[in-house]
Amino acid sequence: MSETIVGNDLQQAIHLLDNGECVAIPTETVYGLAANALNEEAVLKIFEIKNRPHFDPLIVHTHSINEIEKYVEAIPDWALQLMNKFSPGPITYLLQKKNNIPDLVTSGLNTVAIRIPEHILTLELLRNLSFPLAAPSANPFGYISPTTAFHVKDQLDSKIKYILDGGDCNIGVESTIIGLENNLPTIFRVGGIAVEEIENVIGKVQIRIESSSNPHSPGMLLSHYAPRKPLLFDKVEENLKLNSDKRTGIISFFKKYDAVENENQIQLSPNQNLHEVAKNLFAAMRKLDAANVEIILAEKFPEIGLGRAINDRLKRAAKK
């Protein structure tokens, strides 16, 4: 295939998607690699391009609650309350699927992961399609998710025809995934909507993000979202001493470290804002992965609000 085109031509994206092709799309979380969720052949292309194992189910994207109703058996009360508050937004619901969603999308599960992304261009795109879009992150399986059109092009060039460029992703980490376990609302992936915000709406929820052996939620795999270089999470001062013989890059909240050259350290938010950290996190990991360093050290962030999702991604990036 020839070089991938990057642009903001909705008609071009619609045309390709109508014809069963994959298109990279912007969302508020990360860029997605999208295809017609109702067309198995189109969905198969997503798995092939990403090199994604078939046991890893995809998230389905639509533009409204009315649309969601077409693909799920029912929207339970807890989900409706959350949708009214946070959708469009970075939260994905696991709901009983209808038969129109192919098994390939859900890896054979009887639930479908579905959400309404908060991005003007992509909402406009979805309103102009007669089908929802299945879209995992637009990167090779296991690598850091893309938060700019350039990140997508960098890794998927010539593998797809078109990248719809909607600018930098506003949230910068993947959506929070919530479903039921033993009939209780349960968070399976921490993400762009904080646990505290969810609990403010529906009360206490369970959190099940540590299970490493559950192949049904590989976003939960211990090693994921990872740079190619070794990344050491937390205990930066200690790790600096232990690795004083290595060229080192550092990802920090706001602090500067004297032991490392300025160009190899990234302060994610000098004014200590976790939204800014989330927004800049994946780009920083990519930058240091490409820099002249041998290892990357990353601080642990406060475990509140978006800090949980940020630490979760760094922890998985650190596992090999």
The binding site for ligand AMP (CB under 6 A) comprises 56-59, 94, 106, 109, 111-113, 136-137, 174, 177, 188-189, 216-220
Look at residue 220 and give the partner it binds from ligand AMP, Mg ion, none, a contact being a CB closer than 5 to 8 Å depending on partner kind: ligand AMP
Structure tokens that stand for 248 in this block: 């080192």
Q: Could you tell me the smallest distance in angstroms from the CB atom of residue 131 to Mg ion? A: 21
CA distances from 29 to 15, 88, 110, 135, 294 (A): 24, 11, 25, 12, 29
Look at residue 188 and give the partner it binds from ligand AMP, Mg ion, none, a contact being a CB closer than 5 to 8 Å depending on partner kind: ligand AMP
Helix (H, G, I), strand (E, B) or coil at 17: helix
Amino acid (1-letter code) at residue 94: L
**Residue numbers at the binding site for Mg ion (CB under 5 A):** 137
Of 44 and 295, which CB lies nearer to ligand AMP in the complex structure? 44
Look at residue 217 and give the partner it binds from ligand AMP, Mg ion, none, a contact being a CB closer than 5 to 8 Å depending on partner kind: ligand AMP
Of 19 and 211, which CB lies nearer to Mg ion in the complex structure? 211
Look at residue 59 and give the partner it binds from ligand AMP, Mg ion, none, a contact being a CB closer than 5 to 8 Å depending on partner kind: ligand AMP
In 38-182, at which residue ranges do the beta strands (DSSP E only) sit? 59-61, 91-96, 111-115, 133-134, 162-164, 176-181
Q: Could you tell me the smallest distance in angstroms from the CB atom of residue 105 to ligand AMP? A: 8
In 125-242, at which residue ranges do the beta strands (DSSP E only) sit? 133-134, 162-164, 176-181, 184-189, 206-207, 231-233
Q: Could you tell me the smallest distance in angstroms from the CB atom of residue 139 to Mg ion? A: 7
Give the separation between CA 276 and CA 271, rounded to whole angstroms.
9
Q: Could you tell me the smallest distance in angstroms from the CB atom of residue 222 to Mg ion? A: 14
Q: Could you tell me the smallest distance in angstroms from the CB atom of residue 254 to ligand AMP? A: 28
Give the separation between CA 225 and CA 207, rounded to whole angstroms.
20
Give the separation between CA 4 and CA 163, rounded to whole angstroms.
7
Look at residue 87 and give the partner it binds from Mg ion, ligand AMP, none, a contact being a CB closer than 5 to 8 Å depending on partner kind: none
